[in-house]
């Protein structure tokens, strides 16, 4: 039962994977819970305009490309696929609708009050949601993030020429020429979708490699693979201007470190240079809560902010901007509010890029691990994995990084068709403090892609069998 002084034990602001999971867990633990959301549907960025719709388009376009030749042809299946983009979009919208409604069902089932509207703090326990004033003993900020704008490049999703990720999910026709600004996760996933469907794609990336934050070998290999697939990569370049005339954009592109500018024309420009935490209009001033230099809300390990009774989780706090990180923090914050011990191990958060092949990693990169001490590294190519070879999926490798003295696994990186599924076993092993020997002596089913993880682990201390 709620503290008599407040309407609720817990009010969560934001119904993304952080917020809706926190609300469900709080309700499961017997706390009277409400969740405020300014969007019309629940599920946040992830379900509405992020993880789910992007994966719907990635999955469908992967089938389209497979049917267009390549692996299918090699397996004796010759077809000429015809693209029905309207149907492809419709199945994407269906997936989103089904899942967002699923969250609404879970809210009802768990007796969580959904407060529709933008939430603004009046004081630490009083929040205005639309026209309603709600009081709560604990308030969890789970307001997520939104697209970082690029100066001189104005996004207009309705026009469809210069778009952000939300606009790039909705393009009504396949652009002839697409320029992606930023060779990070969004640029490569959504760039892959439109390339597979027929667009000529150029990626302009400020740094000298794609995918910042990932292991160095992985970044190099990813560059080779995307080039081979037909993406043009303009590494060490930045976009400094954009003019739009009718349905065409002209971009000014310069070397990152200075030099001569050139122009590139495109029918569609995707701005994907990162995301920023959502704190505008939240009324943080009213509760005296400051953000750090990156605009994030800082918390302690229990997700308490500097203001008593106010907690924060997900994209709005430091750490990788990932749905599963937000979800785990949602569970932990609710448990902490309920007086239990909610913990998230931020050293073991897997990340996956859902391209073809998939790219996944958990723990330290080789560069980070070497910065901390002596390491041993084992690598195994997917070309030597029987299942990948049989499936005509030769690209990629698995890399296991272990402490040279203790053999404890510090990081695992994979490029493989199903790397996103494979990385789960690495995360679990690391969570249990596994050594590379533990993985090497674990029996893996044959023939599976996961055997490459076993072989890479064998390569750390001795020799893999199949190379």
Site residues for ligand NAI per CB under 6 A? 150, 181-187, 189, 204-207, 212, 238-239, 272-275, 320-322, 351-354
Q: Rule CB under 6 A: is residue 266 a binding residue for ligand FAD?
A: no
DSSP-derived pairing of the beta strands 200-204 and 397-403: unpaired
- From the list ligand FAD, ligand NAI, none, pick the one residue 207 interacts with, judged by a Cβ distance below 5 to 8 Å according to partner type: ligand NAI
CA distances from 256 to 98, 204, 221, 238 (A): 43, 10, 22, 5
- From the list ligand NAI, ligand FAD, none, pick the one residue 255 interacts with, judged by a Cβ distance below 5 to 8 Å according to partner type: none
Choose, from 89, 444, 446, 466, the residue flagged as catalytic: 446
Closest CA to 198 of 224, 219, 226, 175: 175
Q: Rule CB under 6 A: is residue 344 a binding residue for ligand FAD?
A: no
- From the list ligand FAD, ligand NAI, none, pick the one residue 212 interacts with, judged by a Cβ distance below 5 to 8 Å according to partner type: ligand NAI
Task: Return the number of the residue (282 or 322) whose C-beta is nearest ligand NAI.
Answer: 322
Task: Return the number of the residue (143 or 385) whose C-beta is nearest ligand FAD.
Answer: 143
State how far Cα 457 lies from the chain centre. Answer: 26
Cβ contact 343:378 at 8 Å: no
CB of 118 to ligand FAD, least distance (A): 5
Which stretch, 39-47, 83-91, 196-204, 238-246, contacts ligand FAD (CB under 6 A)?
A: 39-47
CB of 167 to ligand FAD, least distance (A): 11
CB of 274 to ligand FAD, least distance (A): 10
Which stretch, 42-50, 172-180, 292-300, 382-390, contacts ligand FAD (CB under 6 A)?
A: 42-50
Based on the residue annotation, tell me whether 446 is a catalytic residue of this protein.
yes
- From the list ligand NAI, ligand FAD, none, pick the one residue 287 interacts with, judged by a Cβ distance below 5 to 8 Å according to partner type: none
Task: Return the number of the residue (7 or 315) whose C-beta is nearest ligand NAI.
Answer: 315
CB of 62 to ligand FAD, least distance (A): 14
Which stretch, 12-20, 153-161, 221-229, 390-398, contacts ligand FAD (CB under 6 A)?
A: 12-20
Closest CA to 196 of 65, 57, 87: 65
CB of 150 to ligand NAI, least distance (A): 6
Task: Return the number of the residue (275 or 379) whose C-beta is nearest ligand NAI.
Answer: 275
CA distance 237 to 349: 30
Q: Which residues bind ligand FAD (CB under 6 A)?
A: 13-19, 36-39, 44-46, 50-51, 54, 118-119, 142-145, 165, 186, 278, 281-282, 314-315, 321-324, 326, 354
- Residues annotated catalytic, as ranges: 446
């Amino acid at each position: 039962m709620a503290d008599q002084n407040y309407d609720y034990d817990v009010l969560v602001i934001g119904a993304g994977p952080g917020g809706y999971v926190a609300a469900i867990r709080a309700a499961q633990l017997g706390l009277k819970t409400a969740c405020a959301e300014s969007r019309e549907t629940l599920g946040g960025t992830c379900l509405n305009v992020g993880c789910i719709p992007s994966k719907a388009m990635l999955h469908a376009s992967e089938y389209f490309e497979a049917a267009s030749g390549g692996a299918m042809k090699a397996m004796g299946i010759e077809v000429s696929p015809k693209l029905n983009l309207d149907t492809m979009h419709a199945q994407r919208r269906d997936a989103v609708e089904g899942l967002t409604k699923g969250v609404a069902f879970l809210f009802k089932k768990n007796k969580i009050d959904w407060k529709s509207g933008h939430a603004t703090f009046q004081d630490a326990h009083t929040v205005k949601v639309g026209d309603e004033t709600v009081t709560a003993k604990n308030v969890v900020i789970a307001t997520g993030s939104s697209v970082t704008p690029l100066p001189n490049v104005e996004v207009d999703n309705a026009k469809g020429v210069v778009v952000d990720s939300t606009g790039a999910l909705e393009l009504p026709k396949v652009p002839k020429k697409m320029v992606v600004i930023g060779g990070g996760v969004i640029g490569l996933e959504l760039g892959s979708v439109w390339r597979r469907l027929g667009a000529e794609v150029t990626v302009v990336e400020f740094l000298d490699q794609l995918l910042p934050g990932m292991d160095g070998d992985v970044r190099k290999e990813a560059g080779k693979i995307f080039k081979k697939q037909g993406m043009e990569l303009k590494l060490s370049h930045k976009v400094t201007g954009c003019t739009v005339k009718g349905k065409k954009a002209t971009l000014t592109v310069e070397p990152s470190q200075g030099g001569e500018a050139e122009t590139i024309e495109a029918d569609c420009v995707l701005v994907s240079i990162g995301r920023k935490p959502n704190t505008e209009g939240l009324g943080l001033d009213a509760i005296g809560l400051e953000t750090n230099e990156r605009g994030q809300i800082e918390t302690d390990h229990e997700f308490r902010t500097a203001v008593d009774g106010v907690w924060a989780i997900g994209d709005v706090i430091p750490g990788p901007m990932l749905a599963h990180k937000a979800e785990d923090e949602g569970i932990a914050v609710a448990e902490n509010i309920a007086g239990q011990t909610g913990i998230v191990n931020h050293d073991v958060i897997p990340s996956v890029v859902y391209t073809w092949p998939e790219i996944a990693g958990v723990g330290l990169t080789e560069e980070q691990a070497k910065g901390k001490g002596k390491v041993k590294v084992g690598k195994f190519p997917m070309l030597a994995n029987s299942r990948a070879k049989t499936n005509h999926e030769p690209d990629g490798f698995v890399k296991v990084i272990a402490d040279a003295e203790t053999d404890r696994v510090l990081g695992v990186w994979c490029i493989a068709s199903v790397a996103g599924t494979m990385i789960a076993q690495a995360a679990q092993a690391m969570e249990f403090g596994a050594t590379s020997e533990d993985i090497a002596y674990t029996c893996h089913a044959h023939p599976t892609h996961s055997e490459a993880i076993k072989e890479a682990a064998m390569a750390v201390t001795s020799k893999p069998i199949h190379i």
